[in-house]
Amino acid sequence: MSFDERIGEIISLSEAMRLNVLIWGPGKSAEEQHAKREKIRQQITHAFINADVRFSEDLENKIPGSKDLTLPEQELLHLAACDICLVLDVSKGAGEEIAHFIGSGFGHKLVILTHERYKDATSFPAALRKYENQLFFNDDEYEHCYLVERILYRIRLLAIGKLGRLFL
Amino acid sequence: MPTPSSGDSTQLLLAWKSGDQSALNKLIPLVENELHRVADSLLRRDRPRHELQATALVNEAYLRLIDAPQIEWQSRAHFFAIAARVMRRILLDYTRSNLRSKRGGAEHILLISPALPTEKAVELLALDEALKRLSKLDERKSKVMELRYFGGLTAKETASVLNLSEATVFREWKFARAWLLRAMEKPSELPKEEFEVTTVTEDTERTLAEAWSNRELVATLMSENWAGLKLLVQLRLSPNVGAGELTSILGTHTSIVASLLLKLAQFGALEERNNIFTLTNRGAAMLENLEKAIGKIFYE
């Protein structure tokens, strides 16, 4: 078996890895953005066959005992349990509420996807940009599949890192 | 005594709306404690708590609510929201009349006494003005602020009254709060953050940096059609191999090999001494883990 075939096995294993992916973002009332979340979910599930991709609202009050918790407390639980949390930050201030999760010990799991028109906003600490936990996209990337490709690449890095036991 | 359910009070509200005055008499004991809580909450913001004042405020609110049969009651939460709004209006009316009185105008007597300090009263009116301005700009944000801050409703109750999701209520609340802070430049008057925006501590920064470094290491392994991984494997096979030979083995340019070597060293898979790159424990462990995952070593 050649080196390239071994690489092929690594790729296949990474695509079959069990991953918990969370997608935060606008609800059904924001039809277009919600559709984008759905599309991202479909594409992830298509590329990573064993990925469990959830929207935050799918999990609301689903964890036993969580009805006694506030929404932010429930969201913190979800964040703790996931491997990666994609946040579709498509309106000014939409992501502000999650800024407090950065210091929760799970901030490194967040990937905040922000439109480039909000590049100058200061909703999030600069460290998020510095360590590439906040990514910016333009209209073209949003309309077409480039944004989803960037997300899939990010998940691939995570999956291969987990195979190499870099992310425990 | 059994606790009244929200269903009981909603039914009574609907009956009262339909003209059944006896429903109001049954409703009042069910909602009294809650109304006192709202009154206390409003008064605490303006002066030290005083039971008599809260009672007077609740009584005044009853009188005004009874005179407002045109309100379309939706639910128990809606009732408290309206009651809170009425109480706030009473306080504002009182504050205005008190200020007019201090300036020599006619005094309007309400059931509540004593006067607010002038400075506090001016701030209360400024907040009301700011809220009105916000309402013109974005009515939904203004309503969320009114229900949550003045009405003392939870996010869930506010969501129910306004027919929004809880997440939207949190978002609108955050924005309204920030807007009012700027509009009033009186941070002390506004509610505490529900979501404390954390500053990035050294621990948080370290965790973010570690995760970034791990990702970059994987990206380097994958780059140039997995040349990064090939290079690492080659260095394990022949630790003292030179850059020229590596370039030839990988079939790529020297500049690419140099760049990969530097990145692998930066992200902790290699270490460099006197221009010689060797595998670190981290680099070796990662290779072994990948081999364990596929059940084979890279070169047999």
Predicted local confidence at residue A46, as pLDDT: 96
Answer for the pair B195, B170: CB distance below 8 angstroms, yes or no.
Answer: yes
Is A134 contained in some domain?
yes
Distance of CA B177 to the CA centre of its chain: 10
CATH of domain B202-294: 1.10.10.10
| pLDDT reported for residue B23 | 77
A102 CB within 8 Å of a chain B CB: yes
Of the CA atoms within 13 Å of residue A99, those in its CB half-sphere come to 24
Q: What is the pLDDT of residue B108?
A: 40
Query: Of the candidates B178, B205, B289, which has its C-beta nearest A163's C-beta?
Result: B289
pLDDT of residue B100: 62
Mean pLDDT, residues B123-139: 76
pTM: 0.60
Phi, psi angles (nearest 5°) of residue B73: -70, 130
Best residue in A2, A3, A6 to probe B by mutation, most B CBs within 10 Å? A6
Give the model's pLDDT for residue A162. 95
Q: Which CATH class is domain B118-197?
A: mainly alpha
* Domain boundary assignment for chain B: 1-116, 118-197, 202-294
Lowest mean pLDDT among A146-155, B7-16, B68-77, B260-269: B68-77
Higher pLDDT, B76 or B226: B226
Place of tokens 């990988």: B250
Q: Looking at A28-32, B183-187, B263-267, which range is the least confident one?
A: B183-187
Tokens of B209: 């940096």
Chain A contact set for B287 (CB, 8 A): 164
Is A25 an interface residue toward B (CB < 8 Å)? no
> Given a cut of 50, is residue B214 above it in pLDDT?
yes
| B21-25, B169-173, B198-202, B292-296: which is most confident | B292-296
A80 touches chain B (CB under 8 A): no
Interface subset of A 107-166, CB within 8 angstroms of B: 107-109, 125, 127-128, 130-133, 154, 156-158, 160-161, 163-166
**Rounded Cα distance, A111 and A150, in Å:** 11
Å between A147 CA and nearest CA of chain B: 18
In chain B, what percentage of residues exceed pLDDT 90? 21
By the CB < 8 Å criterion, does B197 face chain A?
yes
Cβ–Cβ < 8 Å for B75, B161: yes
Contact A131 B199 (CB under 8 A): no
Q: Does the pLDDT at position B113 exceed 50?
A: no
A87 neighbors A110 (Cβ within 8 angstroms): yes
Query: Element (H or E) spanning B254, and its range?
Result: helix B254-266
The continuous run of DSSP H or E covering A85 comes out as strand A84-89
Using left for φ > 0, alpha for ψ between -120 and 50, and beta otherwise, residue B226 falls in left
Backbone phi and psi for residue B234, each to the nearest 5 degrees, phi listed first: -65, -40
CA distance B22 to chain A (A): 36
Would the pLDDT of B223 be above 50? Answer: yes
Choose among B294, B271, B96: nearest CA to A17.
Answer: B294
Closest by Cα among B41, B32, B38 to B9: B32
Average pLDDT along chain B: 75
Range of the domain at A19: 3-163
Q: pLDDT-based confidence at B45, cuts 50/70/90?
A: low
Percentages (nearest 5) of helix, strand, coil residues in chain A = 55, 15, 30
Give the model's pLDDT for residue B119: 55
Per-residue model confidence (pLDDT) at position B114 = 41
pLDDT(B116) > 50:
no
Residues of B with Cβ-Cβ distance to A168 under 8 angstroms: none
Q: Is B125 helix (H, G, I), strand (E, B) or coil?
A: helix
Name the domain count of chain A. Answer: 1
CATH of the domain at A56: 3.40.50.2300
